[in-house]
Structure formats: structure tokens, C-alpha cells
């Protein structure tokens, strides 16, 4: 499928398939027109070890989202629309700047509604010398057609698979069809990008493949059990599992009825038992760290709590390119 800005006309880039003409200024569910919007770009050291590597992941946080998760830690940009419009030339320059700063990769966060812009910018950046892997950091809510387009230029996929329970996805992210789309999309990603486990172990970074993320929600362990069973049956030895316990009640918005507490120690132990039950040995577990609140502030030049991200910022929506 050809990737061009014409896809913004009668837009059906995501499963919402709003059909609006974004080229004429209309905005669909994602809240975005045809100009890509970005909140910041920086060297991010909080991803999985093979993504972060030694130098950090060159992460670009896009504005808007195709879901409405009631516990989104990036709610300032996914729902609050913090960010500003940037054209493809600027996006390509940001990628080059991240590479020059030492980034292991370029990490596009929540950019499904901007696929044509990202593709064009990446092509421009490659002509300017971009040579590091490109990562697609997504909610998993993708059409198979979108994944087909992404396979033309994306090296590594980092999809969430939040739940396989339609009732839960309807309640938590206003998308009853999320499980059906996410399941097919993630399988297509794994089919298209074989994960070389031995290369990751040898070099310490992922250059091609799939890492599937799942956030454990307090009080919803049945959903996690269902996901882990599905992962074991469909993706074990084909993709890397990243299990996260970093649900943060500070991020809960009131969109959904969710617990105002973190995952308990008892619940964590139950999830470890599930890993044993489904014979899942390889992967990563991101646990909570004391009282640290994992909610970034994208109004700040150092968005991530307890980090030195201000020193590693390349571009911020308030100031543009950082002056070094």
C-alpha cells in the first residue's frame, strides 16, 4: 500500500476509521488534523534494556491518541493534546539530532494517526544520513493495513497488548473492538519482523523484532492471565514479553472506574505464578520503584520523575530545538 498524505483524506489509518478529511482541517477521534504534532524528543533511558541500550532510546512523543485509556500516564499528550505542529522536514531534523546525540534508535510513541508524516520524515532523514533502527511504540490498536504500511520502514515493534477482554476494553479505553484488532496486529508484526534473540543477547540491543508489553492492572488479574495464556500459545519464542507493574493511580482520570491503588504484592506474586504456569521464561519485568510516581510532566523540559531528561532533550514543544 502506498504511503502518502492522501491517506489523511477520508482517514482510516486506525480502527476508528472516522473517514474525515484531515487535509481540510477535520479532526477524527484522535483529535488531529493532517499536520503531525509532537510534544518532545529526547534520549529516554526508561525503556526495556535492549531498547535503551547504553546510550538511550531516541524517543519522539506524539500528540493525540486513537484510544481513551482512563489510566494513561501520558494523558497530557494523549488526551490533553500538549504539543505543537511540526512538518516532515523538522521531524527528519529531530531524528538526525537524536542520532547525533548518540541514540540507539528512533522510537515513535503513539504515532498511528500520523503514519504518512512519519514515513515521509523518515525517508527524508535517511537521505540525511539516518542509519539507526526505527521503532514503533504503539497501543497495539492498529489495523492490519496499517501494519502492512509500517513493515515498509519500521525495524522494531513495541506494541502494548492491554487485554483480550472486549468488555474490559470497552470500559477502560472506549474500544470494545480493541482485543480483535490488537491480536491480529501483533501477530502480523511478529510474522513480519522475526526476533533474533541470539543477536540481542550478543549485542545488548534490539535491531529487528517485536517486544510485546502488558500492563498489569490492580483487580484485573483474570485479564492478565488471559493475555499470558495467549502469548504462550502464539508468541513465545517469536517475540519478547515485557510485563509491567507500573500502574499509577495518580494518572487515573475518572474516564473509567479504576482502583486508586497500585498493584499489590500479593497480586504480583500471582502474576509470577502465571508465568510459571504458562512456562514463560524469557522477557522483562518492570516493577514499581518505591514511592516514585511514574507520571511524566510534558510541560517540563525534564518530563520524567527522577531523571536527568532535561539534559538529554533534543526538541521540546515550548522551545523547539534545545540550544547546546
CA distances (Å), 245 to each of 145, 238, 257, 268, in order? 31, 23, 19, 8
The Cβ of residue 32 has, within 10 Å, a number of other Cβ atoms equal to 24
Mean pLDDT in residue range 15-26: 97
pLDDT at 292: 57
Mean pLDDT in residue range 40-58: 95
- This model's pTM is above 0.85: yes
The Cβ of residue 183 has, within 10 Å, a number of other Cβ atoms equal to 16
pLDDT higher for 151 or 304?
151
pLDDT at 67: 95
Residue 40 per-residue DSSP state: E
Note the Cα 100 to chain centre separation in Å: 23
Which helix (DSSP H) or strand (DSSP E) does residue 107 occupy?
strand 106-109
> Are 141 and 181 within 8 A, CB to CB?
yes
Q: Which of 86-100, 225-239, 303-317 has the lowest mean pLDDT?
A: 303-317
Could you give the CA distance from residue 295 to residue 251 in angstroms, rounded to a whole number? 7
Domains in the chain (CATH in brackets) are 40-317 (3.20.20.70)
pLDDT at 85: 97
Residue 223 has pLDDT above 90, yes or no: yes
Amino acid at each position: 500500500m502506498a504511503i502518502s498524505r492522501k491517506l489523511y483524506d477520508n482517514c482510516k489509518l486506525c480502527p476508528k476509521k472516522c473517514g474525515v478529511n484531515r487535509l481540510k482541517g477535520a479532526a477524527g477521534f484522535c483529535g488531529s488534523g493532517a499536520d503531525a504534532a509532537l510534544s518532545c524528543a529526547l534520549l529516554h533511558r526508561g525503556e526495556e534494556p535492549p531498547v535503551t541500550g547504553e546510550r538511550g532510546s531516541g524517543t519522539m512523543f506524539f500528540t493525540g491518541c486513537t484510544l481513551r485509556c482512563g489510566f494513561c500516564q501520558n494523558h497530557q499528550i494523549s488526551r490533553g493534546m500538549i504539543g505543537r505542529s511540526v512538518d516532515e522536514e523538522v521531524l527528519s531534523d529531530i531524528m538526525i539530532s537524536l542520532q547525533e546525540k548518540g541514540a540507539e534508535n528512533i522510537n515513535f510513541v503513539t504515532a498511528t494517526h500520523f503514519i504518512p508524516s512519519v514515513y515521509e520524515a523518515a525517508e527524508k532523514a535517511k537521505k540525511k544520513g539516518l542509519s539507526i533502527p526505527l521503532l514503533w511504540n504503539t497501543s497495539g490498536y492498529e489495523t492490519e493495513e496499517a501494519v502492512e504500511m509500517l513493515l515498509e520502514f519500521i525495524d522494531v515493534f513495541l506494541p502494548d497488548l492491554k487485554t483480550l477482554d472486549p468488555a474490559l476494553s470497552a470500559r477502560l479505553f472506549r474500544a470494545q473492538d480493541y482485543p480483535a484488532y490488537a491480536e491480529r496486529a501483533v501477530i502480523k508484526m511478529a510474522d513480519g519482523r522475526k526476533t533474533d534473540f541470539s543477536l540481542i543477547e550478543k549485542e545488548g540491543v534490539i535491531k529487528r523484532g517485536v517486544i510485546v508489553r502488558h500492563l498489569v492492572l490492580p483487580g484485573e488479574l483474570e485479564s492478565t492471565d488471559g493475555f499470558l495464556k495467549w502469548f504462550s500459545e502464539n508468541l513465545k519464542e517469536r517475540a519478547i514479553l515485557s510485563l509491567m507493574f507500573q500502574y499509577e493511580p495518580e494518572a487515573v482520570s475518572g474516564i473509567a472506574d479504576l482502583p486508586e491503588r497500585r498493584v499489590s504484592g500479593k497480586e504480583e506474586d500471582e502474576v509470577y505464578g502465571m508465568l510459571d504456569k504458562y512456562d514463560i521464561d524469557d522477557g522483562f519485568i518492570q516493577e514499581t520503584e518505591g514511592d516514585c510516581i511514574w507520571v511524566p510532566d510534558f510541560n517540563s523540559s525534564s518530563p520524567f520523575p527522577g531523571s536527568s531528561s532535561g539534559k538529554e532533550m533534543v526538541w521540546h514543544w515550548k522551545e523547539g530545538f534545545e540550544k547546546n
